[in-house]
Amino acid sequence: MSRQVSKGFPVRHLKTIVTAAALALGTAAFGQGAEVALGGLRQDPGLPVEVTSDNLRVDQSDGSATFSGNVLVSQGEMRLTAGEVEVIYAPIGGRIAELRATGGVTLVAGEEAAESQEAVYTIDSGEVVMTGDVVLTQGANALSSNRLTLDLTEGTGVMEGRVRTVFQTGGD
């Protein structure tokens, strides 16, 4: 049986609340940013990229292709959905250099998911920068901010701009 601090509040939850408060204060002290570990959003950027959509527009003059309508980008276990994705090809070699997603972006891998208004995925570096009303969920926990920069090769991310965190304590 756990000890009670006050009406119905078990002492064992105090550690969780103190830790959450310390994280929140630490976040505010470091320029409104937070670094997060992302085991599920780890990805090998060398894997093939598959894109499906309702429409495709190709612009030969600038070497871009724009997929629109129910866009799904797959790479390994990672899935990105958006209203529109512009594919930027490298000037030499014709390989994909960058994906620019807009129109409600969702990036999912394993039990982790991130949502934003826009995202830019630089393939060679494995970096994804998500901007605009960013929400990152890890299981039952959620973080929100204005910007999330993911390093898919390392499985880490940095949230910037008024970070808000909700921790689920799981208690009884």
CATH number of the domain where residue 140 is located: 2.60.450.10
**How many domains is the chain partitioned into structurally?**
1
pLDDT reported for residue 25: 33
pTM of the model: 0.74
**Which tokens in the block code for residue 26?**
């630490």
Residue 3 maps to a domain: no
Identify whether 12 is part of a domain: no
Mind listing the pLDDT tens digit of every residue in the chain (172 residues)?
A: 433 333 333 333 323 332 333 333 333 333 345 556 555 566 677 888 899 999 999 988 877 899 999 999 999 889 999 999 999 888 888 788 899 999 999 999 878 899 999 999 999 899 999 999 999 998 888 899 999 999 888 888 899 988 888 777 766 5
Sequence-distant (6+) residues with CB within 8 A of 83 are: 68, 69, 71, 102, 103, 104
Residue pair 38/154 in contact by the 8 Å Cβ criterion: no
pLDDT of residue 1: 40
Residue 72 confidence (pLDDT): 97
In a domain, 62, yes or no: yes
Residue 49 lies in a domain: yes
Q: Is 8 a member of any domain?
A: no
Residue 60 included in any domain = yes
107 lies in some domain: yes
Range of the domain at 67: 32-166
Q: What is the dihedral of CA 141, 157, 96, 59, to 10 degrees?
A: 70
Is 10 part of any domain?
no
Instruction: Give yes or no for a contact between 49 and 123, defined as CB atoms under 8 angstroms apart.
Output: yes
